[in-house]
Amino acid sequence: MSKKEMHQRGWDTLDIIIVTGDAYVDHPSFGAALIGRLLEARGFRVGIIAQPTHDKPEEFKKLGKPKLFFAATAGNMDSMVSNYTPSLKPRKRDMYSSGGTPGMRPDRATIVYSNRIHQAYPDAPIVIAGVEASLRRLAQYDFQSGKVRKSILADAPADLLIYGMGETQTEEIARRLQAGEDIKQIKDIPGTVWKTPVKSWKEELKGMYYIELESYTTVSEEKEAFARNYRTLWQQQNPGNGKVLVQPHPKTIIVQNPPAKPLETQKLDEVYELPYTRQKHPAYKEDIPAIEPVRFSLTTHRGCFGACSFCAIAHHQGRMVNSRSIESLLREAKSLTKMKDFKGNINGVGGPTANMYSMECPQWKSKGVCTDKFCLYPKVCPSMNTDHSKNMELLNRLEQIPGVKKVFITYGVRYDLALTQPEYLEMICKKHVSGRLAVAPEHYSKKVTDSMRKPGRDVFEKFVEMYSAINKKMGKEQYLQTYLMSGHPGCGLKEMIETAEYIRDNKLYSEQVQDFTPTPMTASTCMYHTGIDPFTGENIEVATSRRDKKIQRTILHYRDKRNRKYILEALKTADRMDLVGNSWKCLISGKNGMWESNSHKQQGR
């Protein structure tokens, strides 16, 4: 991170410099550290400029000019999601900054960093990557501005964009640049996006099979075209047979190569067993909050075949699950026991979900993922191997490592999968739940869970019944921590009230309610912007105003007295004043239209 550290290694220059919006933590959960360690293992000299002050050009020069390229990333989160709440207020804390200090990364950080690098070294190749670049690689709806924005590659002075997890692409780019290739001629790497002039793109792509998407101009003006584009993108997000996608922009043409294949087990093992210190860089005096939940956790797999509408993992990690070997995970766990601050607890074992480890579909290797159906919606596909045995073996063997006292499941469990193998649920209830098990039903209205591509509440009820019976049999008092979402497309006041009634009747009140936030490249964001379900083509109800979204959220927090006026307004609008009860005498104030109670002591049921 400094010239002093370079000289301590005997380096005068660097091959690659990574500019990141996160503070530098040497842990595989941080993208810059993982890519940096991998490149280092391949013999490249790597520097990291973490959270540079973007209006100080000298900060982008502090490590000099790299021999090969700069890599710019906003960090582990999209900068606009990191910087703003769902109500578009600046966040008061940044988990990826020292001391949780907000404002350490600029809005649209990838673009800002690219511009500053280009100003500092106009002829230096620039590669952009990370979640922000990956999920904004084509024209996308931007919640913060309320409009469709161009591909981030059209706005940034970068040469290449890496989408997905990026190890394979980054290695190949580095190797080919080292061999003397011009970065502007590197256009054939899967999992990358490049741009070409408007006047010559058809000639350049001549002889190549590609799909031309609706142009940026069209999708920014026509919501139906935006929805059609999303569906095409979804269908081609397949490492097995995805096609090249081309999207015209006013001043450039954006070309997306097919997705890169996920890492095989051996390579995935190698990546996670690189010599990470699992510590913040010594330059930081304060702790970095994001490291604490994952410092003593194990990443078992990548990818998720759940494909929930509101989640972008399908477009970043992919729907194909690729898992590490048990032996590799055991070696990593043993290394944790040698750390001086390890207390004996491994506090997380999993990936995007806890229980997809080692699961796969027989056709993934030959055809990739299905493009015309979902693996878990409306029910678990019979072709999917949902065997939890290897997962159970892993948990058992981790417990036997000297120095390991407890192995906890803190990642969310996909409960529809857990239902397929009760012995897995019995095992984790017995040994691996620390009082509460996290699950995400998200909603209890079928209309809404259908739009989310999630199982309905009937499946959740089966899981609750099984979970309760297992714990009762064991004499344990353990609970479910349920995560819910308000304001998702497909949800109106009727559906929100239905969910609140279900919560009340089943004693499932939870503070864990997330207000739906449209983030780039999710199906839910497409629905939010267009009012169209891209998979069915049907119109869908959407709450778009801040007030409507706030009212929906307050309905689920009905115990909070501060929410009374919003809840009463919602019940009046939905013609559900029967839920207020006789103890409430409500009236509409002609002045401000708010609902008020005659007595602060009276409470409705």
CA angle (592, 595, 598) in 5-degree steps: 120
**Helix residue spans in 244-290 (DSSP H):** 265-272
Using DSSP's 3-state secondary structure scheme, residue 16 falls into strand
Q: Which residue has the tokens 């005096």?
A: 285
Does the annotation place 381 within a ligand binding site?
Answer: no
User: Is the torsion defined by CA of 105, 110, 111, 113 positive or negative?
Assistant: positive
Alpha-helical segments (H) within 138-294: 152-155, 167-178, 201-204, 216-221, 223-235, 265-272
- In one-letter notation, the amino acid at residue 525 is T
CA–CA separation, 247 vs 253, rounded Å?
A: 6
Distances (CA, A) of 192 to 76, 138, 255, 375: 18, 12, 9, 26
CA torsion 427-432-434-440 (nearest 10°) is -80
Instruction: Find out whether the peptide bond into 378 is cis, omega within 30 degrees of 0.
Output: yes
Cβ atoms < 10 Å from Cβ of 408: 21
586 known ligand binder: no
Known binding residue 304? Answer is yes
Rounded CA separation 342/337 (Å): 6
d(C-alpha 3, C-alpha 13), whole Å? 9
Looking at residue 259, what DSSP letter applies? Answer: P
Q: Long-range contacts of range 186-190, CB-CB < 8 Å, 24 or more positions apart?
A: 186/160, 187/255, 187/257, 188/257, 189/257, 189/260, 190/239, 190/257, 190/258, 190/259, 190/260, 190/261
User: Among 106, 75, 70, which residue's Cα sits nearest to residue 90?
Assistant: 106
How far apart CA 387 and CA 370 sit, in angstroms, is 20
Q: Which residues contact 69 (CB under 8 A, 6 or more apart)?
A: 16, 124, 125, 126, 127, 159, 173, 174, 177, 183
In residues, how long is the chain?
605
> Residue 92: how many CB atoms within 10 A of its CB?
8
DSSP string for residues in 292-324: TTTTTEEE-EE--S---TT--HHHHT-SS-EE-
H-helix segments, 77-222: 79-83, 109-120, 130-135, 152-155, 167-178, 201-204, 216-221
Give the neighbor-by-neighbor strand order of the sheet with 436-442.
436-442, 479-486, 513-515
Distances (CA, A) of 545 to 318, 528, 541, 542, 565: 32, 11, 13, 9, 17
Instruction: Let me know: does 280 contact 340? Beta carbons within 8 Å.
Output: no
Residues belonging to the binding site for [4Fe-4S] cluster are 304, 308, 311
Residues belonging to the binding site are 304, 308, 311
